[in-house]
A and B are shown apart, each in its own frame.
Chain A
Amino acid sequence: MEALKSTPLLARHQQMKALLAPFGGWNMPIQYEGIIAEHRWCREKASLFDICHMGEFLFRGDIAASGMEDVFTFSVASIPVGRSRYGFLLNEEGGIIDDLIVFRLAEDETMIVVNAATIDNDFSVIRSRLKPDTRFSNISADTGKLDIQGPLSREVLVDAFGPEIDRIPYFKFVRMNILGVEAIVSRTGYTGELGYEIFLPAGKVAELWDLLLADQRVKAAGLGARDVLRLEVGYSLYGSDIDEGTTPLEAGLGAFVNFDKEFTGKGALLEQQRAGVKRVKAAFRVASRRSPRHHYEICFEGEAVGSVTSGVFSPMLGCGVGLGYVRPEAAAIGAPLTIRHDSVSMEATVVELPFFRGGSLRS
């Protein structure tokens, strides 16, 4: 087994007595003071997450001539400079190789941000779909990423780096000088709160971490809180809720697929659309504080119809919530489900996403 990788902040996490655990091949902080306290702080104030494990690729060249336009389920050429777009890299069968965000840095330059566990495979798949002379590089090792998320994150960044931050709308970014280096500050995130993802050279990450944590409004949060936050707003986690065996149509993420352009997997998706999906992602709310968990069985009308891919106790809703794949009729809003595992059984109801609607995301 390959040794766990660590981010430039490992010593700081250890000093803060974080609970560390493997995630996608990385030794990552799961919690500092506690998952629920960190979750609440992010919903009410501003939380700082070490997200250096995620991958970044840099593309330079002509988007049409290089083949880049056909790589993803969305158009790259139509992303205005200064904006980013979310979507998928698919296999020929329409299965999701990864979910990712493309940042249009310039007319002829994009940055692609991918999940940690999928970096190497994504890179070789994308590389294979581009013309051989295309300039395409994996800059993950040199690129640090910190996410600051929560209703106070804007004022924290404005106080630290100036009013330019104030003018960034959702899914836009600015390139600006931070701590003497060029950084990208993007109004994106994974929590359902107002927030920013900051990309900067890996060597500067610790300095930025210390600077932001010195602000009394900011506390560190681990991947445990991040998982609760993302699930409360219904975001899929790659490797749990979506993978190569699931398509965007099954996952209810067809909005991020543009059928007006070419992309790998399009034929399979069109065929699936024609024939109808056999299983679909359902979001359900448990009638108690019990938490559904990965691999628990989902039953509908007395029959096993699928299994849970993500589940958690939602502190905002005060009950368990989860995602899982089921037969389409069991995914209808209001459908009563039973979630089972060994002696555990819990009643649940299919609901619309997001579970939690009170976030500051678009404020």
Chain B
Amino acid sequence: MTETYFTKEHEWVKIKDGVASVGISEHAAHELGDITFVELPQVGKTVKQFDVLAGIESVKAASDIYAPLSGKVTKVNEALNDTPEIVNEAAEEAGWIAWLEPSDLSEVKNLMSKAEYDEFLKGL
């Protein structure tokens, strides 16, 4: 069973079998517009919840991507090096950024469910 959570900075995290995949929401990808570059984190890097995890650039803007959970980066989406536009096409699927090995799953209490995130977007 996969649990999906969102942050106020528009990252998503899907937790399945102890692995957390991370990306940016479809809303964020749409707001950024054409994505031209993704700065992937180093595999092995450890981050705290809400630390900068990666960077993303579009024609319009450059932004940081924050870690939804504390943990260690175990894998990155290398396809984004040459085809970052995958994030525009499928932000919450093929456009994932990195996998984390979460160090404290109780941190999900600081995140929003899909329903809560949708409600949060309405208030923006």
Contact = CB atoms under 8 A, between A and B. Distances in A.
A338 interface: no
Interface in B48-71: 52, 55, 57, 59-60, 62
A271 B34 CA distance: 46
A289 B83 CA distance: 10
B55 A344 contact: yes
A344 B36 contact: no
Contacts of A290: 37, 39, 57
Interface of B: 33-34, 36-37, 39, 52, 55, 57, 59-60, 62, 84-85
Contacts of B62: 291, 293, 341, 344
Contacts of A288: 37
Contacts, number: 40
Interface stretch (A31-39, A134-142, A202-210, A256-264): A31-39
A224 interface: yes
B37 A31 contact: no
A35 B37 contact: no
A122 to B, nearest CB: 29
Interface residues of A, number: 17
A313 B33 contact: no
Contacts of A312: 59
Contact of B52 (A35, A228, A343): A343
Interface string A284-319: 000011110100000000000000000011000000
Nearest to B36: A313
5 contacts: A36-B34, A291-B59, A293-B62, A312-B59, A343-B55
A35 B58 CA distance: 10
Contacts of A341: 62
Contact of B57 (A31, A35, A36, A313): A313
B39 to A, nearest CB: 8
Contacts of A293: 62
Task: Identify the interface centre among A34, A36, A288, A343: most chain B CB within 10 Å of its CB.
Answer: A36
Interface in A305-363: 312-313, 341, 343-344
A228 B34 CA distance: 12
Nearest to A224: B59
A313 B52 CA distance: 23
A288 B82 CA distance: 10
B83 to A, nearest CB: 10
B87 to A, nearest CB: 13
B50 to A, nearest CB: 16
Given A224-B60, A289-B84, A293-B62, A34 B33 contact: yes
Nearest to A343: B52
Nearest to A37: B34
Nearest to A38: B34
A313 B37 contact: yes
A37 B36 CA distance: 13
A71 B122 CA distance: 54
Contacts of B55: 343-344
